[in-house]
């Protein structure tokens, strides 16, 4: 039930001695190169015009129902190395991008999309020329062998010259074609040839092929043989091919966007080298180069999970995949490791389940065990358990812890957050008004290093108004005047003759 991740490099896989080794036995790849047989791009063109609403009065089946069923058969059974896009024409042209059919999840998504295709009314035109134009635009976005599969009731529009012009443009781009006409009734081979629409056959003639008319019980692909001409049933022992020299970057693409590893990862990185390997039958190719070379391949081995990452660790002398280990792309690595680990908690014996709690707030702990378990908190106190519910092996208790941090519950980690009331603490809207009223100011993070320091220096100097007495000079002047007057009077008195005062008789 464990996991195993193998990372490549210049001494691993095809560049090491992994081929036919015990290690390779558990890996989802064969450590040698194989000739890449994928690269076929197929656009399924679905006729959703008003004429496809025709219904068999006996069975109640409609033409559009059989058209959709045949389109679904292609999506379901086409070679995993092929890429498929869908174009529905009939008044409104709807498109589904071309991507590799590398997983059942992708196929199911396209099958669901096709099942919802149908004409809006009986007067919707058969604008197959717009369908051809949309198919050509899709095929120009990819490289490889291109092909269209046109599935229709054979009814063509009045302006047929424009249709033939668009068909010729596809032919000029070396696009192959398969034309399928759907019949509501069961026809013999002789009647089939007579029932093929002449204009529909003219389109097939442009591509040098013939229209295939299918009875209601017939499908383009059935799964018991190659779906399209040129496909082969994959072999577990592929033809070896020499590993090419790598002199440029190889962009990566996710082949299965529904897998746990790639579901929430936007891969934009490129690698400058990789180990040239071949996926084994039953493995899942999740990430590859745009040229089809596997980069991340997974499968289940016994009860465990195995992932082969066939490029290096982004370090060392090669540094093939340094871009994968940085930024958003690094989530691919963490997701790959998490997938291999799986659920780290035991699923048998004593199984403990508990959510993180808040300090001072009680939380519930659920324990599953065949017998009454002994559960210890932080290695000291044993908890009292009570059996709850109809399940006889389920026990429950509550915890109320005051100390924040991580606590151990018989090997199960429980995180205790800060008290719940602290979560409501925030910035009081009136605080800024109060601060401003007292001569202060609230600064944001961008102003801390600039305005805050300047304001601190400015407010560090205080201006104080104190009364200063100016009466000392005036008092001194008055004193001097008084002394001067006294001195002048004394001097005048000395210059006068004083009368002689006689003695009393």
Question: Is 167 in the same domain as 309?
Answer: no
Confidence (pLDDT) at 346: 58
Q: Which residue has the tokens 């009454």?
A: 372
Is residue 303 included in any domain, yes or no? Answer: yes
Q: Which residue has the higher pLDDT, 308 or 462?
A: 308
* Last residue of one domain, picked from the residues 184, 214, 244: 214
Mean pLDDT of 300-306: 88
Per the document, the length of the chain is: 505
Q: Which residue has the higher pLDDT, 401 or 165?
A: 165
Confidence (pLDDT) at 74: 93
Tell me which long-range contacts 378-384 makes (C-beta under 8 A, separation of at least 24): 378/407, 378/408, 379/408, 383/409
As for how many domains the chain has, the answer is 4
Question: Is 248 in the same domain as 383?
Answer: no
Residue 234 pLDDT grade (very low, low, confident, very high; cuts 50, 70, 90): very low
Is residue 296 included in any domain, yes or no? Answer: yes
Q: In this structure, are residues 82 and 124 in contact, taking their beta carbons and an 8 Å threshold?
A: no
Is residue 501 included in any domain, yes or no? Answer: no
Confidence (pLDDT) at 206: 93
Share above pLDDT 90 across residues of the chain, in percent, rounded to a whole number: 27
d(CA 350, CA 357): 21
Say whether pTM exceeds 0.85: no
Tell me which long-range contacts 101-105 makes (C-beta under 8 A, separation of at least 24): 101/75, 102/255, 102/256, 102/284, 102/285, 103/255, 103/256, 103/258, 103/259, 103/284, 105/256, 105/257, 105/258, 105/259
Q: In this structure, are residues 205 and 169 in contact, taking their beta carbons and an 8 Å threshold?
A: no
| Chain segment 19-31, per-residue pLDDT in tens | 888 899 999 999 8
Question: Is 52 in the same domain as 192?
Answer: yes
Residue 179 pLDDT grade (very low, low, confident, very high; cuts 50, 70, 90): very high
Confidence (pLDDT) at 26: 93
d(CA 133, CA 188): 34
Of 238, 311, 301, the closest CA to residue 271 belongs to: 311
| Chain segment 425-458, per-residue pLDDT in tens | 777 778 888 888 887 777 777 776 667 677 777 7
d(CA 257, CA 101): 11
Residue 243 pLDDT grade (very low, low, confident, very high; cuts 50, 70, 90): very low
Question: Is 249 in the same domain as 128?
Answer: no
Question: Is 377 in the same domain as 408?
Answer: yes
Question: Is 95 in the same domain as 193?
Answer: yes
Mean pLDDT of 12-38: 82
The rounded radius of gyration (Å) of the Cα atoms in the chain is: 44
Confidence (pLDDT) at 466: 81
> Which domain range does residue 450 map to?
431-456
Mean pLDDT of 137-164: 87
Q: Indicate if the pLDDT at residue 240 is higher than 70.
A: no
DSSP code, position 62 = B
Mean pLDDT of 338-363: 79
Residue 436, number of CB atoms within 10 A of its CB: 11
d(CA 103, CA 262): 12
Confidence (pLDDT) at 502: 60
Q: Indicate if the pLDDT at residue 230 is higher than 70.
A: no
Handedness of CA 150, 155, 157, 162 (dihedral sign): positive
Question: Is 337 in the same domain as 191?
Answer: no
Mean pLDDT of 118-145: 82
Confidence (pLDDT) at 123: 64
Helix (H, G, I), strand (E, B), or coil: what is residue 151?
A: strand
For the stretch 35-72, what's the b/e string if a residue is b when 16 or more beta carbons lie within 10 angstroms of its beta carbon? ebbbbbbbbbbbbbbbbbbeeeeeeeebbbbbbbbbbb
Mean pLDDT of 120-144: 83
Q: What is the mean pLDDT of the chain?
A: 83
| CATH number of the domain to which 294 belongs | 3.40.50.880
Question: Is 376 in the same domain as 268?
Answer: no
Q: Indicate if the pLDDT at residue 233 is higher than 60.
A: no
Confidence (pLDDT) at 203: 92
Q: Indicate if the pLDDT at residue 246 is higher than 70.
A: no
d(CA 301, CA 6): 14
Question: Is 383 in the same domain as 436?
Answer: no
Confidence (pLDDT) at 297: 94
Question: Is 64 in the same domain as 203?
Answer: yes
Confidence (pLDDT) at 185: 86
DSSP code, position 327 = G
In the structure encoding, which two tokens stand for residue 305, read together?
Answer: 């999970």
Q: Indicate if the pLDDT at residue 151 is higher than 50.
A: yes
DSSP code, position 502 = P
Question: Is 208 in the same domain as 59?
Answer: yes
Mean pLDDT of 295-322: 88
Question: Is 203 in the same domain as 251?
Answer: no
Mean pLDDT of 189-210: 89
| Chain segment 366-376, per-residue pLDDT in tens | 888 877 778 88
| Chain segment 258-293, per-residue pLDDT in tens | 899 998 899 999 999 899 998 888 888 899 887 778
Cβ contacts of residue 51 below 8 Å, gap of 6+?
Answer: 63, 122, 126, 153, 155
Cβ contacts of residue 398 below 8 Å, gap of 6+?
Answer: 362, 363, 364, 365
d(CA 251, CA 218): 40
Q: Indicate if the pLDDT at residue 245 is higher than 70.
A: no
**Cα–Cα distances in angstroms (integers) from residue 150 to residues 68, 167, 282, 317, in the given order:** 12, 11, 31, 51
Confidence (pLDDT) at 499: 64
Confidence (pLDDT) at 122: 60
Highest mean pLDDT among 190-204, 232-246, 375-389: 190-204
Q: Which residue has the higher pLDDT, 431 or 479?
A: 479
Q: Which residue has the higher pLDDT, 207 or 348?
A: 207
| CATH number of the domain to which 385 belongs | 2.60.40.10
d(CA 175, CA 458): 77
């Amino acid at each position: 039930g464990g996991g195993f991740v193998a990372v490549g490099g210049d001494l691993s896989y095809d560049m090491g001695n992994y081929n036919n080794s015990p290690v390779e036995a558990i890996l989802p790849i064969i450590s040698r190169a194989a000739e890449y047989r994928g690269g076929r791009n197929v656009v399924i063109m679905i006729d959703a015009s008003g004429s496809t609403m025709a219904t068999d009065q006996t069975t109640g089946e409609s033409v559009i129902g059989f058209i959709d069923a045949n389109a679904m058969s292609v999506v379901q059974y086409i070679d995993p190395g092929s890429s498929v896009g869908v174009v529905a024409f009939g008044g409104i042209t709807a498109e589904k991008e071309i991507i590799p059919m590398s997983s059942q999840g992708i196929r199911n998504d396209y099958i669901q999309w096709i099942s919802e295709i149908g004409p809006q009314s009986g007067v919707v035109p058969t604008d197959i020329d717009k369908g051809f134009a949309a198919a050509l635009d899709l095929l120009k976005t990819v490289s490889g062998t291109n092909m269209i599969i046109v599935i229709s009731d054979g009814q063509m529009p009045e302006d047929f010259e424009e249709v033939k012009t668009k068909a010729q443009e596809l032919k000029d781009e070396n696009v192959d074609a398969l034309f399928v006409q759907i019949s509501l009734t069961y026809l013999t081979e002789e009647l089939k040839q007579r029932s093929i629409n002449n204009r529909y056959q003219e389109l097939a003639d442009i591509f040098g092929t013939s229209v295939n008319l299918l009875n209601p019980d017939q499908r383009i692909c059935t799964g018991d043989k190659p779906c399209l001409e040129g496909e082969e049933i994959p072999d577990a022992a592929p033809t070896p091919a020499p590993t090419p020299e790598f002199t440029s970057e190889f962009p990566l693409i996710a082949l299965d966007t529904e897998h746990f590893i790639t579901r929430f990862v936007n891969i934009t990185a490129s690698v400058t080298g990789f180990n040239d390997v071949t996926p084994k039958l039953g493995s899942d190719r999740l990430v590859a180069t745009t040229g089809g070379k596997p980069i991340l391949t997974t499968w289940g081995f016994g009860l465990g999970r195995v992932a082969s990452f066939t490029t290096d660790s982004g370090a060392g002398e090669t540094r093939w995949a340094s871009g994968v280990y940085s930024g958003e792309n690094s989530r691919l690595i963490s997701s790959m490791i998490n997938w291999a680990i799986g659920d780290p908690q035991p699923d048998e014996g004593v199984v403990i389940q508990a959510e993180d709690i808040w300090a001072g707030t009680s939380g519930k702990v659920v324990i599953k065990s065949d017998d009454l378990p002994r559960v210890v908190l932080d290695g000291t106190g044993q908890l009292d358990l009570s059996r709850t519910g109809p399940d006889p092996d389920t026990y429950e208790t509550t915890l109320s812890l005051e100390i924040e941090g991580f606590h151990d519950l018989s090997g199960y980690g429980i995180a205790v957050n800060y008290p719940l009331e602290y979560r409501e603490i925030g910035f009081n809207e009136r605080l800024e008004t109060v601060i401003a009223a007292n001569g202060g100011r609230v600064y944001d993070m961008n102003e801390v290093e600039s305005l805050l320091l300047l304001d601190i220096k400015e407010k560090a100097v205080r201006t104080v108004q104190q009364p200063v007495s100016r009466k000392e000079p005036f008092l001194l002047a008055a004193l001097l005047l008084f002394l001067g007057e006294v001195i002048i009077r004394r001097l005048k008195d000395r210059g006068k003759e004083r009368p002689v005062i006689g003695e009393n008789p």
